[in-house]
Amino acid sequence: MKKAILPALLALAIVTPGAQAGTRKLDGKFNRADINADHQLSPAEFQATQSKRISVAYSLFRFNKTDTNNDGFVSLEEFRISRGGISGGKPTKMDIFLLADADDDDVLDPTEYVNTLPSGSAYPKALRSFDKKDKDNTGTLTPTEFGIRAGGGIPFPF
């Protein structure tokens, strides 16, 4: 029986295991990242499936888009549907800021700022760029210092 290749739309939701090479590749990625083998990816496990150019905040953005049933985990099915977390679009600079602001005080401290940079970034270099942005030397970055203009919503440049 020969099956036509399904359009890469909602049909992906009913794709059978290993039906496509792409799916097998995704499954392998998923299984390698699933360190505790519970068949679910935590945010940290999910990050391991993402490129090093993707920041922690960007990965969280993708995680939230991928976790469509909002149970705090990405299942294999969710991972397949999102094609490995990439189908949710791009975050705005504001999205990145808010996701990185772990303590919700509306400013980024250096640790939070690092989470907006590619995950492979060296810490000393990150600190230097932090100091440059921290114009008033408060040790924290406001949205404006981070580069968000009023009425922003400009896609994060990648």
- State which amino acid sits at residue 116: T
C-alpha–C-alpha distance, residues 79 and 26, integer Å: 8
Cβ distance to Ca ion smaller for residue 112 or 134:
112
If one asks whether residue 69 binds Ca ion (CB under 5 A), the answer comes out as yes
Q: Binding marks (x or -) toward Ca ion, 93..112, rule CB under 5 A?
A: --------x-x-x------x
If one asks whether residue 36 binds Ca ion (CB under 5 A), the answer comes out as yes
Q: CB 5 → Ca ion: shortest distance, Å?
A: 27
Cβ distance to Ca ion smaller for residue 49 or 119:
49
Could you give the 3-state DSSP secondary structure of residue 80? helix
If one asks whether residue 13 binds Ca ion (CB under 5 A), the answer comes out as no
C-alpha–C-alpha distance, residues 72 and 66, integer Å: 10
If one asks whether residue 131 binds Ca ion (CB under 5 A), the answer comes out as no
User: What are the beta bridge partners of residue 118?
Assistant: 55
If one asks whether residue 67 binds Ca ion (CB under 5 A), the answer comes out as yes
Compute φ and ψ for 113, nearest 5 degrees.
Answer: -60, -40
- Tell me how far the alpha carbon of residue 117 is from its chain's centroid: 12
Cβ distance to Ca ion smaller for residue 53 or 131:
131
Beta-carbon contacts of 114 under 8 Å, excluding residues fewer than 6 positions away, are: 56, 121, 123, 126
Positions in the binding site for Ca ion (CB under 5 A): 34, 36, 38, 40, 45, 67, 69, 71, 73, 101, 103, 105, 112
